[in-house]
Amino acid sequence: MFEAIKKKFSAEGNEPTGSTSKPDISREKSAELFEKAKTLFPGGVNSPVRAFKSVYGTPLFIKKGDGCHLWDADDNEFIDFCCSWGPLILGHNNNKVREKVIEIMQNGMSFGAPTALENELAELILKNNKYIEKIRFVSSGTEAVMSAIRLARGNTKRDKILKFEGCYHGHTDSLLVKAGSGLVTFGETSSAGVPKAFADETIVVALNDKEAVTKAFEDFKDQIAAIIIEPVPANNGLLLQEKDFLQFLREICTQNGTLLIFDEVISGFRIGFEGAAGHYQIKPDIITYGKIIGGGLPVGAYGASAQIMSNISPEGAVYQAGTLSGNPVAMAAGIAQLTELLRIGFYKDLNNKTEEFTTAIQRFATARNYKFKVFTIGSIFWFAFTDQETIHRADEIDAGSMEKFKKMHRELLNRGIYFGPSGYEVGFISAAHTKIDLEKAKRAIFESLEVVFSGK
Ligand code: PLP
């Protein structure tokens, strides 16, 4: 993962150089705010990718969002395909979410005691998701994963975790590890501050590699507590897996008394209400959620069978707690958002809209013989500057191709289109993207591709 983290967050030099086919947008106010921010935060940001290290220019400071539109501090307007990295499946400032949040806030913001809203959100999820029976709310995806790992270890009384190179699971110590050079390796820490002893408990193998997984179970017989995977790996490009591979993981876990964790922080409620588990119809032992579940406020969750969840404190011996867990305002946002997602036809419409959009872009690129492929699932998509038909593993991505993304990102911003500032990040489409927005975005993408491939 370290390589991926490095690739995501620290590409060389982000000064605008070279010509663009359109004048650069003004970033004067954003630049001023960034200068100030640098005196306040490490690197000027509160999360590394926001620093625009992998693309041109100063980060844009966002002032306002509405529907699928964003406005920055310089009053530039954009159609947004980042959607706060996934949570905003209904778009920015959705009426129903906003009104519910305002209504609940009238009664106070936090009590550190149970509220009916927690029950309401949990019921909404559990009644409509056959893959988990009980759930626990936390405040971020990282926290959900960290807790799921502890639960798996507590449940199996084993220590080792197997993860895949190219999957990101938040910044919990034992998962900030990258693969070494062998088929099956102990993780090497991918961040300073992670003790080697922690990384030694994490085995890292390549995605889509049954042989490596089988060997890991031979090498570490009866030691692996859990396999954790993003069933839709969407943090290092979009490394779509075959159902057959996920099914294989299910089986090898069952045979070895190992728990299978699906990290659905991105895919949960995104590619369907039941996420990737529902899409592939594979039942993992534990599922983690984040992003969409909180309607844009900080919420994460993990769920499993009632039996596995009974290990969690105060019922069981695995300790996990949180001052703001189940926060009423965040629950309210989640309830409002998930209620919308349960409307008949919601996912069909969203996914069809995405398919139409990505198919048109692919058709344009293919007709011009561009080395460019759009990978997509549900309402997630990824632009890869490649001619490979499939990319299943992190090491199949050509790092050199990111230069093209960098150029494209700048062209897109100059045409009012906002993408996450790294070629390793996926794009999201929300219910708020209208036909007109998508037509406008398509034209901008076509023009930008022409500039990138003309080598101007
Ligand atoms: N797991 C996955 C699959 C993620 O994509 C992320 C964040 O992008 C996380 C975990 C961590 O979530 P958070 O950033 O809310 O801590």
pLDDT at residue number 179: 74
Share of the chain above pLDDT 90, in %: 91
pLDDT at residue number 6: 43
Q: Whose CA is nearest to atom 6 of ligand 1?
A: 170
Q: Which atom of ligand 1 is nearest to the CA of 167?
A: 3
Query: pLDDT grade, residue 455 (50/70/90)?
Result: confident
Give domain 2-80+345-454's CATH number out of 3.40.50.170, 1.10.287.3510, 3.90.1150.10, 3.30.70.1060.
3.90.1150.10
Q: What Rg do the C-alpha atoms of the chain give, in angstroms?
A: 22
What is the whole-number distance in angstroms between the Cα of residue 455 and the centre of ligand 1? 35
Mean pLDDT of 78-99: 98
Query: pLDDT grade, residue 132 (50/70/90)?
Result: very high
What is the whole-number distance in angstroms between the Cα of residue 302 and the centre of ligand 1? 13
Mean pLDDT of 252-261: 98
Q: Whose CA is nearest to atom 7 of ligand 1?
A: 170
What is the whole-number distance in angstroms between the Cα of residue 73 and the centre of ligand 1? 27
Task: Map out the domains of the chain as residue ranges.
Answer: 2-80+345-454, 96-341
Q: In a mutational test of the pocket of ligand 1, which residue from 235, 267, 424 has the highest number of ligand atoms less than 8 Å from its CB?
A: 235
Q: Which of 7, 8, 160, 291 is catalytic?
A: 291
Query: pLDDT grade, residue 178 (50/70/90)?
Result: confident
pLDDT, tens digit (0-9, with 9 covering 90-100), for 392-435: 999 999 999 999 999 999 999 999 999 999 999 999 999 999 99
| Window from 20-24, 90-94, 155-159, 420-424 with minimum mean pLDDT | 20-24
Q: Whose CA is nearest to atom 1 of ligand 1?
A: 169
Q: Whose CA is nearest to atom 8 of ligand 1?
A: 170
Q: Which atom of ligand 1 is nearest to the CA of 267?
A: 3
Ligand 1 pocket at CB < 6 A: 85, 140-142, 145, 168-170, 230, 235, 263, 265-266, 290, 300
Looking at the predicted structure, is the pLDDT value of residue 445 above 90?
A: yes
pLDDT at residue number 18: 62
Residue that the structure tokens 């993003």 belong to: 230
pLDDT, tens digit (0-9, with 9 covering 90-100), for 353-402: 999 999 999 999 999 999 999 999 999 999 999 999 999 999 999 999 99
Query: pLDDT grade, residue 189 (50/70/90)?
Result: confident
pLDDT, tens digit (0-9, with 9 covering 90-100), for 6-37: 444 444 445 555 667 889 999 999 999 999 99
Looking at the predicted structure, is the pLDDT value of residue 3 above 50?
A: no
pLDDT, tens digit (0-9, with 9 covering 90-100), for 37-47: 999 999 999 99
What is the whole-number distance in angstroms between the Cα of residue 313 and the centre of ligand 1? 24
pLDDT, tens digit (0-9, with 9 covering 90-100), for 196-229: 999 999 999 999 999 999 999 999 999 999 999 9
Looking at the predicted structure, is the pLDDT value of residue 350 above 80?
A: yes
Mean pLDDT of 263-278: 98
Q: Is 173 a residue of the active site? A: no
Q: Which atom of ligand 1 is nearest to the CA of 264?
A: 3
Mean pLDDT of 250-256: 98
Q: Is 263 a residue of the active site? A: yes
Q: Which of 80, 173, 263, 285 is catalytic?
A: 263
Q: In a mutational test of the pocket of ligand 1, which residue from 49, 84, 169 has the highest number of ligand atoms less than 8 Å from its CB?
A: 169
Mean pLDDT of 283-291: 98
Mean pLDDT of 234-244: 97
Q: Whose CA is nearest to atom 12 of ligand 1?
A: 141
Q: Is 168 a residue of the active site? A: yes
Q: Which atom of ligand 1 is nearest to the CA of 300?
A: 15
The CATH class of 96-341 is alpha beta
What is the whole-number distance in angstroms between the Cα of residue 452 and the centre of ligand 1? 31
Q: Which atom of ligand 1 is nearest to the CA of 85?
A: 8
Q: Whose CA is nearest to atom 9 of ligand 1?
A: 170
What is the whole-number distance in angstroms between the Cα of residue 236 and the centre of ligand 1? 12
What is the whole-number distance in angstroms between the Cα of residue 289 and the centre of ligand 1? 9
pLDDT at residue number 352: 98
Question: What b/e readout covers 49-67, taking b as 16+ CB neighbours within 10 angstroms?
Answer: bbbbbbbbbbbbbbeebeb
What is the whole-number distance in angstroms between the Cα of residue 170 and the centre of ligand 1? 5
Q: Which residue would you say has higher pLDDT here, 3 or 101?
A: 101
pLDDT at residue number 184: 75
What is the whole-number distance in angstroms between the Cα of residue 294 and the centre of ligand 1? 13
Looking at the predicted structure, is the pLDDT value of residue 90 above 60?
A: yes
Q: In a mutational test of the pocket of ligand 1, which residue from 262, 265, 269, 380 has the highest number of ligand atoms less than 8 Å from its CB?
A: 265
Q: Which of 53, 56, 131, 168 is catalytic?
A: 168
* Mean pLDDT rounded to a whole number for the chain: 94
Sequence letter at residue 81: F
| The two domains 2-80+345-454 and 96-341 share their CATH topology (first three levels equal) | no
| Window from 95-99, 186-190, 398-402 with minimum mean pLDDT | 186-190
Mean pLDDT of 429-450: 98
pLDDT at residue number 1: 38
| CA–CA gap between residue 151 and residue 131 (Å, rounded) | 17
Query: pLDDT grade, residue 236 (50/70/90)?
Result: very high
